[in-house]
Amino acid sequence: MALGVFLFAQSLPAAITLNGSTLEVRGDKTVEDALKASGIRPKPGDLVAVDGSLLEADKGKPFHATINGQDVSDLKAKLASGDIVEIGNGGSVEEPSDVVEEVIPWEAQQEGDGAIHIIEGTGQDGKKSTKTGKTSGIVVDQVTQEPVNPVIRNVTPDVGDDKVIALTFDDGPWAEQTGAVLDVLAAYGAKATFFTVGDRIEQDHGAEYVKRAAAEGHQICTHSYDHARGSGKSTNLGFMSHEERVAEVEKGYAAIEAVTGTEASRVFRTPGGNFGPEVIRSIGPLIKAEIGWNIDSGDWNRPGVDAIVEQLENAWPGSIVLMHDGGGDRSQTVEALKTALPCLEEQGYRFITMDELMQYPLS
């Protein structure tokens, strides 16, 4: 009797909703039976090339169907009363292809022309696929993930009526001449920013001068660990490998922190001021800002005390002045400071650190 009841139930039609209309499906009650009962004749899709052009008509998917929202591809799929079925034309099928994935490197977008270079955002590489159709031979490129490009804001501090100047010193500490620079700054109550070279801190009593500079309120930053010596030719981190560039910054920080016992400033100056795209890619995530300059004192070339003084006395409110306490004999620098600082002080100028300068609005 149970078998009879089952067979009777199986013989009853399935009442379904097909494309919004009620339909009774008999027989095996499959999608194929529903098509026969409805009279619907789906049009097959096409076989297309990787660029979307037609290769063969009607060689794509034969139909499109869902049962209760779930895709089905088998005409023999069973239906039950109450099912909601959608059936329509088949979709296109893309030819088989060979696919090569490539990275799209992110690139920093530059804005402005100021001497303070602030990185906003974190770069993220994109992705591109190149498809070559196995039937057509057609080649197409497709960006599958857009790169995320950080912005380098090259800004200038708006100091208003404040007559402030940022004196910066590169390449030290360097024997007693760093001490001589500190003596002159102390005599005039001037604060400065020292962009130190890490391996100089570790020799010739360099640690003592860094400790003194920090204790006297000067800002201690890194100018790399060894000024891009070796593959960087002592001038450009861009000549180095990614790993070398990262090491130059991280080891520079470590040299400062070993002496001061505090986290090193993330304000950085690249050797030679060479802050190109590859350098930005490597060290951008490691720094807060890269610092250029408005006035090059020229002291690195030892042009004579008067020439250095002339450059210093041309400073204006908010300017960043490049000088050196290391990299060779800096006696001209020391003597120029003795002349220029009192002159500028008489004009109402104050001498502040980069951190202090960057507290002003930056635009």
Please give the chain's pLDDT, 363 residues, in tens: 444 434 444 568 999 999 999 999 999 999 999 999 999 999 999 999 999 999 999 999 999 999 999 999 999 999 999 999 999 999 999 999 999 999 999 999 999 999 999 999 999 999 999 999 999 999 999 999 999 999 999 999 999 999 999 999 999 999 899 999 999 999 999 999 999 999 999 998 999 999 999 999 999 999 999 999 999 999 999 999 999 999 999 999 999 999 999 999 999 999 999 999 999 999 999 999 999 999 999 999 999 999 999 999 999 999 999 999 999 999 999 999 999 999 999 999 999 999 999 999 999
What is the pLDDT at residue 8?
42
Measure the CA angle with vertex 193, ends 188 and 199; round to 5°: 125
d(CA 194, CA 171): 8
What is the pLDDT at residue 10?
55
Strand pairing class (84-89; 70-72): unpaired
Does residue 324 have an active-site annotation? yes
- CATH fold of 156-357 reads TIM Barrel (3.20.20)
What is the pLDDT at residue 1?
46
Q: Which pTM does this prediction carry?
A: 0.79
What is the pLDDT at residue 261?
96
Of the residues 33, 46, 170, 226, which is catalytic?
Answer: 170
Nearest Cα residue to 40 out of 103, 90, 98, 82: 90
Of the residues 33, 218, 324, 325, which is catalytic?
Answer: 324
What is the pLDDT at residue 299?
98
> Six-digit token pair at 94?
């893309």
Does residue 64 have an active-site annotation? no
- CATH fold of 2-94 reads Ubiquitin-like (UB roll) (3.10.20)
